[in-house]
Structure 1
Amino acid sequence: MNKAAIYHRPKNNFAYAYDEETLHIIIQSGRDDLLSIDLIYGDPYQWENGSWLSNAVSMEKSGSTELHDYWFVAIKPEYRRMRYGFRCVSKTENWTYTERGFYKEPPNDSAPFFCFPYLHAQDVFQAPAWVKDTVWYQIFPERFGNGDSSNDPEGTLPWASTKPATDNFFGGDFQGVIDHLDHLVELGITGIYFTPIFKAYSNHKYDTIDYMEIDPQFGDKETFRNLIKACHNRGIRVMLDAVFNHSGYYFMPFQDVLEKQERSEYKDWFHLWEFPLETEDVPNYDTFGFVPSMPKLNTANVEVRNYLLEAARYWIEEFDIDGWRLDVANEVDHVFWRDFREVVKSAKPDAYILGEIWHDSMPWLQGDQFDAVMNYPFTNGAIEFFAKQAINANDFVNILTDVLHMYPANVNEVSFNLLDSHDTPRILTLANNNRQRVKLLYLFQLSFIGTPCIYYGDEVGMAGDEDPGCRACMVWEKDQQDRQLFDFVKHLIHLRRTVPAFGNKGSFRFLSADSLTNTIVYKKSTQDEQIIFVLNNSEKSSKVSVSELENKTTKELITNNRVTFEEDTVVNLEPYGYYCFRIL
């Protein structure tokens, strides 16, 4: 038995309260090393004849990577508290793993075992329930639609008359969004994520000038209020982008510092190294990256903190927005984010708080800061496998299995699963203009655990390389849109909304992966429903044997065809083919 590979920690993603009654317990072991693991558990205060009373229940293997197996069990402790350990069985050995290490025989005393002290309802991770069933659509406002030419900034170019650049404007605004909401409704979108809308110098608006004012090129506050109402009337939630890590160059407090230097009353609003400030080349103050026009805000300063928290409250209370996406969230201190959550949740208890973090984010997902983060580990794995075909099927399964076990299940259910954004090349470009690969990407994304997001224009086949190429004007001429792709995505969103196991109510489990053929098989299931997905991420035809389909009658959800399997469970796949078999 490879004891060094066996690992459990009684908190975070390995032991947590899923709801007010249920604990989720996970343990890691070496790949294919153990035959079984049983959870040994009991109440710490139940004893008989000097021995601790315990029970045992089998754990299920919930996933495997190249190095590890993961084992899972959901348990409802009778008195909401629990001591527990693990009976680990290999072909030749049987050991009990506890907080104090391994025992040949289970201890009679509860003291060596892991401890879950008490399941407090208020400690259960709580994200807004509506997010689980939301399909997001990211809009870069300057490039979505020009509905009101009267607010166009100076030098605005005719719509889509040239390629996007870092400094050109095409007049996108709120009225343009209002004019095209029916497009989103037809697609099945139930949430919009706007990149920044506040007054700023650039076309991307991540260099904020005033956090309390809308950029004039997008319209005024009344138009924005009308936009929110129009979205809500269509069942669409609205999330805004907050840039609280840094301000823009023309932010009044920073301009005051540039003018008055060390005499400025705002000098402590930023992280300044020395005077005079150097704004050319490499700045002598903290910034986003090394961008001189984006000075980093000092969120430990009380005045800065109060200003930003007031902005967070204002846009919720005054305009009824539904959430905040937080730019460069990992570079802002945890104390500020805890205060931010208090303010936001007091203004709107079911507001969604989403952090932009590109790596393991467990420190921000303890229930006291964010509801979710942008799930870039998911993004990277999906893009590398389906779009770029840079990794094989087994590598992909390893990555996604790690993703699934990185956070508690109730965190995964609201993770923001994007495929691309204003910060990355578009998926069609990443897929080398292969629309079949893009379809596989969407099928996997929209059947995975979490809350998916579509970047504007991807659904009609827009392409584009790195910024600024990925920020082109939305194509509205239907004869220039890929309507077949639109209808495909629309159908997947419909399935996600109407078939519980297809959507976020179904648990996810990989069944097989074949790196020679680049095929994967996975299952989504609820208590009442099972769907088997078979995907061929290859330009060659393939055959996959799926034992779970033996003697089953199914409905294939893409074609609505009835398919019956007997002993022969071989599924024939065309190049880049896919099936979604719902077992009847």
Structure 2
Amino acid sequence: MEKAAIYHRPESEMAYLAGKNQFRIRLRTKHADVHQVEIIYGRLDRIKQQKLAADREDMEIIRPNVEAMQCILKTDLYDYWEITIPVKVRERTQYLFHLIGDHDGELLYDTVNVRPYMADFLEKATPFNTPYYQNMFLMHSNPEWTKHTVWYQIMLDRFADGDENNEPLEKARWDLDKSTATNFYGGDLQGVIDHLDYLDELGINGIKLSPIFASYSNQKNDPVDFYDLSYMFGSKELFREFVQKAHQHGMRVMVQLPLDRMSDMALQWQDVQRLGAQSRFASWFKVRQFPVQVPDKNEDPNKYYLTVDGNIHMPKLNLQSPAVQQYLLETARYWIETFDIDGWEILNADEIDQTFLNLMTQQMHSIKADFVVMGQYQHLPNGDLAKGYIDSANNVDFYTIIHDFFVTHQLSVTEMISRINDALMKNTVYTNQTLINEVENFVTPRLISECNSEEDLARAIIAFTFMQIGIPSFMYGTEVGVTGEDVPANLAPMKWKDEEQSSSMLQFMKSAIAMRREYADLLNEGTLEWGQLSNKYRYFTLTRKYNDQKLFCLFNFGYGSVKVVIPKNSEIVLSQNLMEDENKIAQNGFVILKV
């Protein structure tokens, strides 16, 4: 057995509370190298003492617990083993790993070494320990409602124009003008209210809005005032009405929050430009030198002050300033207490100080217990999520895997499965359940465009995504065929005319969302098992199980058709390109069966 591949890390995604008095333990070994793994656990320290005092007749006999671990997932490099054991309050449980190979003997793994397994192992072993728990609190997990949510991302200016009284000064033609970085289409809150029934019929129960604050840009990523709502979207009274009506439709409301910047038109920044270091807001921004000047076109945009992505109109806030922290926390509280929103999505969360992020998350929870703080990241923050610094995040790893396998064909089936399994094993189960599986967002190309306008491929990707652990999310208009490459083309206005919509996409999305919501518990809580596959013909099967429920899936992304046998005791939940009379699935086809 390859000793260097054997790995376990206490108090991490490999060792954590999985419920009251339940502790989940993982072990990693080299792929196809270990035949069986047993965990030896209990009060091993007392058993040692018992052996040293073997001559005492009144000594209670204590024996270690020995149970077999289950191999739950495999990658091209490693196998992952898992078990859940009972633990007690205010008492540490010690544990060791007993590894059995096919041909080369047995090993004992403890905190110090990997050594040959011997009958007197307890006398020499240094066991791992579970943490000392004063209370059996659960590992950080999100409110139950999040597990059943399908998020629908709306850029307000591009969804629907419901009020002609709050139009921008220059308005683009909805069905004629191409989306640019600076044009406005006039979408507003009334437009969303007018289409809540449409979203309800689609099956949506989570609306994620682009920033809503007063701003001069069409995306509102550069707030002039965090307390103020953009006049282009309507009044605050209308926003309250929107949240109330969304709740009446069973929909949660999340708003994107650009926490790390303000507009160069904000009063605070204007004061800094006018008074320099003497301004009472001088410490609010990351100023490099006074007096503050606007860099020339040929100069470094960050010469005088730090900016967001080199945009001189978005000076970065100093989030370590107590005054800035107080201002942002108060405004975040204001929108929850006044309008009852259900979540914030923090933009550029990679660059937010962890301490402040944790403080904000805890304060939001104190106002509304089931509130969710999500982060939009470029790199997945495994530690932040596991420790509860933030509630949720976009699943960066998953998006990359989707792109590399389904779109660019950089991965084989085996490599795709290996990378998904590896990503799952980086986190606790609870963390994986909180991650947002986005197939697209405001800064990526549209899914259908990524698929070269092959709608059946886009539908197959969505079906695959809906079968994974985590929370699915897609952009407005994908359900009717809205396309667009990079920003700003991906932010085209919603298609509302029947003749412009893809009826096949719309019908599919209704069915897919209904399936996801019906089987939400299975898909978030259940096991994931990969079955038959072919790298040459690019097909694979997977099975999801939870209690007495079981879903079997076959996906085919090869050029030819794949034979499928549908058992008599099964029910087709969702399918595409299925030729039932020939028992075959064509390219980009799939079948999901309730067995």
Normalising by the smaller structure, the TM-score range is over 0.9
Q: Tell me the equivalent position of 1:115.
A: 129
1:19-58 alignment runs, 5 A limit: 19-44=19-44, 46-47=46-47, 49-50=50-51, 53-58=63-68
Letter in 2 for 1:557: V
- Output the TM-score relative to the length of structure 1: 0.94
Among 210, 213, 223, the residue aligned to 2:238: 223
Preserved contact between residue 157 and residue 184 of structure 2 (Cα < 8 Å): yes
Among 343, 359, 364, the residue aligned to 1:323: 343
Among 538, 554, 558, the residue aligned to 1:538: 558
Preserved contact between residue 11 and residue 131 of structure 2 (Cα < 8 Å): no
Report SS of the residue matched to 1:250: coil
Closer, same or farther: CA 367–517 of 1 in aligned 2, 3 Å? same
Q: Tell me the equivalent position of 1:129.
A: 144
The 2-side partners of 1:467 and 1:580 are apart by 34
The 1-side partners of 2:63 and 2:376 are apart by 46
The 2-side partners of 1:44 and 1:348 are apart by 43
Q: Tell me the equivalent position of 2:95.
A: 84
Closer, same or farther: CA 27–579 of 1 in aligned 2, 3 Å? same
Report SS of the residue matched to 1:169: coil
Among 319, 325, 336, the residue aligned to 1:305: 325
Preserved contact between residue 348 and residue 377 of structure 2 (Cα < 8 Å): yes
Q: How far 1:558 moved relative to its partner?
A: 2.1
Q: How far 1:501 moved relative to its partner?
A: 6.1
Q: Tell me the equivalent position of 1:102.
A: 114
Preserved contact between residue 445 and residue 452 of structure 1 (Cα < 8 Å): yes
Preserved contact between residue 43 and residue 77 of structure 1 (Cα < 8 Å): no
Matched, 1:60 2:77: no
Q: How far 1:502 moved relative to its partner?
A: 5.2
Q: How far 1:259 moved relative to its partner?
A: 1.6
The 2-side partners of 1:229 and 1:109 are apart by 65
Q: How far 1:318 moved relative to its partner?
A: 0.5
Letter in 2 for 1:94: E
Letter in 2 for 1:511: G
Closer, same or farther: CA 50–71 of 1 in aligned 2, 3 Å? same
Matched, 1:194 2:209: yes
Q: Which blocks of at least 5 consecutive residues in structure 1 are unaligned?
A: 565-569
Matched, 1:486 2:479: no
Report SS of the residue matched to 1:340: helix
Q: Tell me the equivalent position of 2:495.
A: 475
Q: Tell me the equivalent position of 2:586.
A: 574
Matched, 1:422 2:442: yes
1:280-316 Cα offsets, whole Å, 9 max, x none, are 3422222222221221111111110000000111111
Q: Which blocks of at least 5 consecutive residues in structure 2 are unaligned?
A: 53-61
The 1-side partners of 2:466 and 2:69 are apart by 28
The 2-side partners of 1:334 and 1:104 are apart by 43
The 2-side partners of 1:81 and 1:582 are apart by 42
Q: How far 1:4 moved relative to its partner?
A: 0.7
Q: Tell me the equivalent position of 2:158.
A: 143
Q: Tell me the equivalent position of 1:351.
A: 371
- Aligned residues with identical type, % of pairs: 30
Q: How far 1:117 moved relative to its partner?
A: 2.3
1:520-553 Cα offsets, whole Å, 9 max, x none, are 21111111111111100123212479xxx9x883
Preserved contact between residue 188 and residue 493 of structure 1 (Cα < 8 Å): yes
Among 247, 271, 283, the residue aligned to 1:232: 247
Among 227, 230, 245, the residue aligned to 1:212: 227
Closer, same or farther: CA 66–279 of 1 in aligned 2, 3 Å? farther
The 2-side partners of 1:192 and 1:301 are apart by 32
1:231-310 alignment runs, 5 A limit: 231-280=246-295, 281=297, 282=300, 283-284=302-303, 285-310=305-330
The 1-side partners of 2:501 and 2:342 are apart by 30
Q: How far 1:341 moved relative to its partner?
A: 1.5
Report SS of the residue matched to 1:503: helix
Letter in 2 for 1:478: D
1:482-528 Cα offsets, whole Å, 9 max, x none, are 12111112112112222356533433232243211111211111111
1:132-156 Cα offsets, whole Å, 9 max, x none, are 0111100011100111111011111
Aligned length: 573
Q: How far 1:108 moved relative to its partner?
A: 1.4
Among 170, 192, 195, the residue aligned to 1:177: 192
Q: How far 1:66 moved relative to its partner?
A: 1.7
1:442-490 Cα offsets, whole Å, 9 max, x none, are 1111111111112111111111000000000000112211121111121
Preserved contact between residue 496 and residue 502 of structure 1 (Cα < 8 Å): no
Matched, 1:557 2:573: yes
Q: How far 1:414 moved relative to its partner?
A: 1.7
Preserved contact between residue 60 and residue 72 of structure 1 (Cα < 8 Å): yes
The 2-side partners of 1:123 and 1:530 are apart by 27
Matched, 1:93 2:93: no
Report SS of the residue matched to 1:576: strand
Preserved contact between residue 18 and residue 125 of structure 1 (Cα < 8 Å): no
Q: How far 1:123 moved relative to its partner?
A: 5.3
Closer, same or farther: CA 111–279 of 1 in aligned 2, 3 Å? farther
Q: Tell me the equivalent position of 1:446.
A: 466
Q: Tell me the equivalent position of 1:497.
A: 517
Report SS of the residue matched to 2:16: strand
Q: How far 1:102 moved relative to its partner?
A: 1.2
- Output the TM-score relative to the length of structure 2: 0.92
Letter in 2 for 1:172: G
Report SS of the residue matched to 2:316: coil
The 2-side partners of 1:419 and 1:489 are apart by 13
Letter in 2 for 1:101: N
Among 160, 163, 188, the residue aligned to 2:175: 160
Report SS of the residue matched to 1:428: helix
Among 505, 513, 523, the residue aligned to 2:543: 523
The 2-side partners of 1:574 and 1:204 are apart by 41
Matched, 1:70 2:85: no
RMSD (Å) for aligned C-alpha atoms: 2.3
Q: Tell me the equivalent position of 2:398.
A: 378
Letter in 2 for 1:558: L
1:338-369 Cα offsets, whole Å, 9 max, x none, are 21012101110110111112323122113431
Structure 1 segments of 4+ aligned residues over 6 angstroms from their partners: none
Preserved contact between residue 528 and residue 543 of structure 2 (Cα < 8 Å): yes
The 2-side partners of 1:232 and 1:539 are apart by 45
Among 376, 394, 414, the residue aligned to 2:414: 394
Preserved contact between residue 449 and residue 507 of structure 1 (Cα < 8 Å): no
Among 334, 342, 360, the residue aligned to 1:314: 334
Tell me which moved more, 393-402 or 536-545. 536-545
Report SS of the residue matched to 2:137: helix
Preserved contact between residue 279 and residue 292 of structure 1 (Cα < 8 Å): yes
The 2-side partners of 1:231 and 1:372 are apart by 22
Closer, same or farther: CA 161–306 of 1 in aligned 2, 3 Å? same
Closer, same or farther: CA 110–75 of 1 in aligned 2, 3 Å? farther
Q: Tell me the equivalent position of 1:567.
A: none
Preserved contact between residue 437 and residue 471 of structure 2 (Cα < 8 Å): yes
Preserved contact between residue 354 and residue 372 of structure 1 (Cα < 8 Å): yes
Preserved contact between residue 138 and residue 453 of structure 1 (Cα < 8 Å): yes
Letter in 2 for 1:180: H
Tell me which moved more, 112-121 or 265-274. 112-121
